[in-house]
Structures are given as C-alpha cells and as structure tokens.
C-alpha cells in the first residue's frame, strides 16, 4: 500500500525550518519540491513523511545508528509505557527538577534536541524555546514526539547524530537527554555539536554515568543479560574520557554534577528489569520514591561521593575557533 504524502499544511509548517536544514551527505542547502527535500545540486532527495518528518537516514546511517533505529522502532510502545509508571514518574520528577535548575534560563532561542526520542527536552522547556528541532534515528519515536508536540515552532528530523542534517552555527543550545551513551563515536558526535552551535553556545546533557565501580559491574551484567539493551552500541559516560573528548572538540566543560544512587537502582530500570515494573502496584509508592530521591541527593553531597551518582547533568560551552 502506498504511503500518503505530507499534506500542504504540513509542508507549509516545515518550510519555516528549511533554511536551517542541510544535506547530510554534501552539506548543501535544501529546498522543498513537492513532498521531498532536494539538495541545491539536485543529486540528493529526501522524502517527507505524512507527519512532516524529513527522512534523512536513508542516505546516511552509521551501522551503530541502524542498530539503534531497529531497536527503538521495535520497543517504542513499551519504552513510552515505562515512563508512565508512578514510581518512574516520581523519580523522573526529581531528575527533571535538577535539570531545570541548570538549563531553564538557557533553553531559549533556537534549540536542537539530538537523539530526541519522544521529545523529552521540548516537553520540559518548550514554553521558553522560540524554535526547536528534534533529531532521532527512530522514525517511530519521532512519530511519538510529533504527536506530543504538535506546535508549529517544533520540527522533527530522522537523522544520524554523527552527521546532523542542519546548518553550521545555527543553534543557541543543544540538549541531549539519554542519547550520548547510544553513540560510540563520541569524537564525531561532539564535533558535530560544536559545528552546529553558535559562538559561546551551550551543550547540555543528562546521561547514565558509570564512575561508581559497583554500578559499572552490575551494569555490565545487566547489559549482557537483558534483550532490551545492546552492550556493543550503548556505553555510559565516564568523567575523564568525556572531559578529554569535549576539550578536543573545542568545548570548555563547565558543569558535571551527578544524581541518583540507591533509589535510582531500585526504581528507574523498568525498561530492562521485569520485577521493577511491579512497583507500580505498591500503595504509596510515589511517596517512597520521593523519599529515596532525597536520600540519594543527600548521599551524593557527602565528601568524596559527588561524582559517583548514576546520572550526570553536564554543560559544555563552545570556545571560539582561535581558542581551540
């Protein structure tokens, strides 16, 4: 059965973002021809889905990104469902408040969410964002994002994080929430983020981190046993190598603060641990989770423990080229 083309109204909404888009193969500007984006030289053409999502992954998709695309296209329903459990929501509220404390004032202007999934950053900061583009390799996740964020000031693209189909120097802020650890080629990722940011632009992230040796060992076991994870294409962050990679790409690391410990272990693994899902049936579970989040926060403020949380919120600022 033929796929319906994008409507004129959808294409009209997308047209406002076309000046920010670039061919991921040639780097050329793009223009709309019917329901396709076409490179300036005419050699590259990209279809636009009925939801208004340009599909760039057909021309460029790394082997790792292809694995992630197939995985998240398959698990999208369960992935989103896990985020609706009361214990997951209660702990995520703690993590979201921590993120807002660092990002809220900066999430303005033109913002791009890389590995956007269902548009988590835009759902958190959408009111202050003037124009936002979300990029993800999974078309199914992007469909969820488009449904959740129908406003015309947002656009969503299917593309590879290591070859972003957007203009250089166009964005005030880049946000990644749980996407960096899915990209093994961090050098290419950070180089792309540097390319697309404006001078002094900020790159924010919230990611799993494995500087705590006990959690690193437990994660290694879980990653090998769980069919929901891929140990070859998912690698949590570590402070020292991440800092060096960012410095090499041209960034100054200005924030590295960890969150989540015992409570995170217990309540934030519904996507990979079946028994974790049973917590949603416990009466009063949200109050218990909020208490565990406060305990985690107190533990990680103790001397010597500040870098050993299981999630990290970070920020890096783009240095000018002459300072690299």
Query: Domains, the chain, ranges and CATH?
Result: 1-55 (no CATH), 56-323 (3.40.50.150)
Contacts of 159 (CB under 8 A, 6+ apart): 24, 56, 57, 60, 135, 136, 137, 165
pLDDT at 261: 93
Average pLDDT, the chain: 89
pLDDT at 299: 95
221 pLDDT exceeds 60? yes
Q: Is residue 10 a contact partner of residue 55, using CB atoms and an 8 Å limit?
A: no
For 282-300, write each residue's pLDDT tens digit.
Answer: 899 999 999 999 999 999 9
Count of all residues that appear for the chain in the document: 324
3 pLDDT exceeds 60? no
- Which tokens hold the place of 251? 């960034």
Placement of tokens 């079946």 in the chain:
274
Percent of the residues in the chain that have a pLDDT greater than 90, as a whole number: 66
- Region of poorest pLDDT, from 11-25, 57-71, 164-178: 57-71
CA–CA distances in Å: residue 54 to residues 45, 59, 132, 161, 177: 10, 12, 15, 15, 22
In the predicted model, what is the mean pLDDT of residues 85-101?
93
Distance in angstroms (rounded) separating the CA atoms of residues 162 and 132: 19
- Which tokens hold the place of 38? 């076409």
Distance in angstroms (rounded) separating the CA atoms of residues 217 and 223: 10
274 pLDDT exceeds 90? no
pTM over 0.85: yes
254 pLDDT exceeds 50? yes
Placement of tokens 């919120």 in the chain:
313
């Amino acid at each position: 059965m033929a796929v319906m083309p994008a409507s004129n109204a959808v294409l009209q909404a997308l047209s406002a973002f076309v000046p920010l888009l670039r061919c991921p193969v040639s780097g050329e500007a793009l223009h709309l021809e019917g329901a396709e984006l076409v490179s300036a030289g005419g050699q590259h053409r990209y279809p636009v889905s009925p939801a208004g999502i340009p599909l760039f992954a057909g021309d460029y998709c790394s082997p790792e990104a292809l694995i992630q695309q197939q995985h998240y296209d398959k698990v999208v329903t369960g992935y989103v469902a896990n985020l609706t459990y009361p214990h997951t929501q209660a702990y995520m509220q703690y993590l979201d408040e921590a993120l807002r404390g660092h990002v809220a004032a900066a999430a303005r202007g033109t913002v791009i969410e890389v590995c956007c999934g269902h548009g988590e950053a835009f759902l958190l900061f959408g009111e202050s964002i003037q124009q936002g583009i979300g990029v993800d390799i999974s078309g199914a996740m992007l469909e969820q994002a488009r449904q959740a964020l129908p406003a015309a000031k947002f656009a969503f693209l299917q593309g590879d994080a290591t070859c972003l189909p957007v203009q250089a120097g166009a964005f005030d802020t880049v946000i990644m929430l749980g996407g960096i650890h899915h990209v093994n080629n961090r050098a290419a990722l950070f180089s792309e983020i540097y390319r697309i940011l404006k001078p002094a632009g900020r790159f924010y992230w919230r990611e799993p981190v494995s500087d705590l040796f006990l959690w690193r060992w437990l994660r290694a076991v879980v990653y090998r046993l769980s069919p929901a994870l891929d140990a070859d294409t998912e690698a949590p962050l570590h402070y020292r190598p991440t800092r060096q990679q960012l410095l090499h790409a041209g960034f100054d690391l200005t924030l590295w603060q960890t969150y989540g410990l015992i409570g995170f272990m217990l309540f934030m693994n519904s996507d990979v641990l079946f028994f974790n899902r049973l917590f949603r049936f416990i009466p009063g579970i949200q109050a218990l989770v909020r208490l565990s989040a406060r305990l985690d926060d107190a533990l990680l403020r103790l001397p010597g423990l500040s870098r050993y949380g299981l999630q990290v919120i970070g920020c890096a600022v783009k240095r000018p080229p002459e300072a690299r």
